[in-house]
Amino acid sequence: MSLPDSVSILGGVSLDPPLHVAVIMDGNGRWASARGLPRREGHRQGVEALRRAVRAAGDLGIKVLTIYSFSAENWSRPLEEVNDLMGLLKRFVRKDLAELHENGVRVRVIGDRKGLDADVLALLDEAEQLTADNKRTTLVVAFNYGGRQEIARAARKAAEDAVAGKLDPASIDAGTIEANLDTAGLPDPDLVIRTSGEQRISNFLLWQAAYAEFVFLPIYWPDFDRAALEAAIVEYRRRERRFGGVTARTGS
């Protein structure tokens, strides 16, 4: 059941959600190891946590949810684990795409698509095309994604436009780079959540998260649920966001 944008949670606290929440889903392998299970089981349970997160985001009125599903550096993992992760991605799209579409979720994929297998590309394209007109929530899937690589692609596009005479090099500014990022047209994240207790950004949304608030949760990703999301939002709402100024700005 859909809830209003401002909902009541623990202790009667009013929860006013940020516009854009981004999540570094960390700790699947350690969750599995702590239970004597294979890493693939941790990844499988991580998909269940993702389903919970998407539903909770929609219920809480979060308009954009970005997930770090597979980094450009994850290809260095053992081949068996990479294959397991690709299999989970395919099953998630095939199993959940219809439900996402019915619930008004728009899927947008960011990251480098060059070199991806044709079947993976087809799934990503299908997810984007089917849900393109949905308005309730935007689920941004960072796949084969790296923040440094994204900025380099944006700079390369600006350079190509300058060489072609479409752009005056003297006019290149932050707005030029932003317009060429994978996330062009999306609001910057207000809140970045990382699970597992690790406190680093890991090449995720380096440009976009310049003024985001970070909340590091001590739980592994497979244990993430609505209560964890609400707790992160409560912590976010305690912060004063000054954006380099002296006084806090209101709103998300």
Task: Tell me the pLDDT tens digit for each residue of 189-210.
Answer: 999 999 999 999 999 999 999 9
Say whether 26 is catalytic: yes
Task: Tell me the pLDDT tens digit for each residue of 72-87.
Answer: 898 888 888 888 888 8
Of 16, 74, 134, 223, which is the active-site residue? Answer: 74
Is the pLDDT at 184 greater than 50, yes or no? yes
Single pTM value for the model: 0.88
Burial class from Cβ neighbours inside 10 Å (0-12, 13-18, 19+) for residue 115 reads exposed
Is the pLDDT at 124 greater than 80, yes or no? yes
**Count of CB atoms situated within 10 Å of the CB of 172:** 15
Fold observed for domain 16-237: Undecaprenyl pyrophosphate synthetase (3.40.1180)
DSSP category for residue 163 = H
Assign residue 108 a region (left: φ > 0; alpha: ψ between -120 and 50; beta: otherwise): beta
CB-side neighbour CA atoms (13 Å) of 144: 14
Of 5, 16, 26, 84, which is the active-site residue? Answer: 26
Task: Tell me the pLDDT tens digit for each residue of 45-68.
Answer: 999 999 999 999 999 999 999 999
